[in-house]
Amino acid sequence: MLGGGCKPGEPGVVAVRTPSQVTVAPGVVAPARAEAPPDVVGVHELERAFEGAAQMIAPSVVSIISERAVDQAEIPAFLRPFGPPDGTVRGLGSGVILDAKGYILTNNHVVDGASVLRVRLFDEREFEADVVGTDPKTDLAVVRIDADGLVPAQTASSDAVRVGQWVMAAGSPFGLSKSVSAGIVSALGRGGMGIADYGDFIQTDAAINQGNSGGPLIDLRGRVIGINTAIASQTGGSNGVGFAIPSDIARVVMAQLIAHGSVERGWLGIVMGRLTPALAQSFGYAGGDGVLVDDVDPKGPAAAAGVRAGDIVTHLDGKALRDMVALRNGVAQRRPGTKVEVQVFRDGSTRTIDLQLGALPGQGEAKGRRPGAGKAKPVPAAASAHGLQLAEPTDEVRARWRIDVRKGAVVTDVAPRSVAEREVQPGDVLSEVGDAPVQSAAQAKKLLDKADYARGVRVRVVRGGIGRYVLLRRAP
């Protein structure tokens, strides 16, 4: 029995301790350890799957920091006091490493118009990035960095993705790097969303927010199945409706951008129509999927191969076509000159037609910059005489560098062979430049940019909570 004045250890008394310390009195048989119910075991296995997927994708996800110059003349006078003080707008997005040579896939809107691009890796290293190529029609872009020890992500075919499947979104929402969120695939084949010209999006309720753009959507094996690109929201935050570009489309675009710096798309030369049940019945077509040919360009490849208005296209290279989005994207993923096989339903029977795709009219205006053919504008750390890259002491920056300051400029990078190389290091805080107290990184940059480094400029550096003065001067 328990209690009743008996002491633990006496015959017939069980000593009550923590579960790991339970002992049984002599002569008492201990019950067998209970096994976890099957449903609990399943929960643990699911948890381990999420943990493993997050760990697997982590070293492949990057933050992309962009800077864009703003023409103050374009801003209404009454809004200028609220605009960026140095005329530069800074943005943050995400990306995923898909090649050990430094190729990173992201969204076009993350890099569009940027004069400065930097990539921050999982291990906090930062590198200047070159734009390899962009494709606004799919909202995809490829950038490249010159770095060692990169870990490319694994990919999986988005064609195998199913509604209800567990997925995770990785990236830097609101600047919070190394973040993941979980949900399911809510729908597939979302087109006509106004997000991009070529849309066949994976819809998910995994939380996608500002800053997630360009990051990967992964399955529970840690494989990339999509690139997060947009949300449906009236507030700017996640409402549980996010969209990702399927990996099968992204891989094709990435390969073309790396090889050619731009994307050239094939062209059939038909006007596609939605195949409603009533229309299908009117043509004697019993199927539910397919694309109705509303019209044919007489000078296009489809007309030359014998495709006619009123045909119902059912397959492209042996793959069944769900709707117009599937056919349009399937053709767009193939380059001009590619030979394809289409199956059409006509006059009660199916026939196969071989044709060679033409070039989509109006292509070529979205050329990218090939590696070595032109870099983004050098970052301030490399371009300035002082060689310092500075950041505002935001909550994230203070947590990253383990500093407790509210004012000043946090040093995040020091350029080699600069005047500051021997005196300043990342994690330092500049509290004074000359005689001026530093209130912000923007102010410190302006003061340092104007300094005479032949004579030298005095700065106060706070490191480990202790300040000291140093002189930044160019060697004679």
Active site amino acids: 109, 139, 213
| Residues shown for the chain | 476
- Identify whether the C-beta of residue 472 lies closer than 8 Å to the C-beta of residue 420: yes
356 vs 19, 340, 405, CA distance in Å? Answer: 72, 6, 64
Distance CA 142, CA 476 (A): 42
Backbone phi, psi, residue 331, to 5°: -70, -40
- Hey, CA dihedral for 106, 110, 112, 118, is it positive or negative? negative
4 vs 13, 26, 184, CA distance in Å? Answer: 10, 19, 55
Distance CA 383, CA 76 (A): 30
406 vs 217, 410, 438, CA distance in Å? Answer: 36, 10, 11
Joined together, the tokens standing for residue 312 give: 């119902």
286-316 core/surface letters (b: 16 or more CB in 10 A; e: else): eeeebbbbeebbeebbbbebebeebbbbbbb
- The H-assigned helical ranges of 72-230 are 108-111
Amino acid letter for position 82: F
Distance CA 142, CA 131 (A): 6
Per DSSP, 155 falls in state: B
SS3 at position 95:
strand
Distance of CA 458 to the CA centre of its chain: 41
247 vs 198, 251, 254, 409, CA distance in Å? Answer: 13, 6, 10, 40
SS3 at position 163:
coil
The count of other CB atoms within 10 Å of the CB of residue 189 is: 16
SS3 at position 469:
strand
Distance CA 446, CA 172 (A): 29
193 vs 39, 105, 130, 232, 244, CA distance in Å? Answer: 39, 22, 30, 10, 12
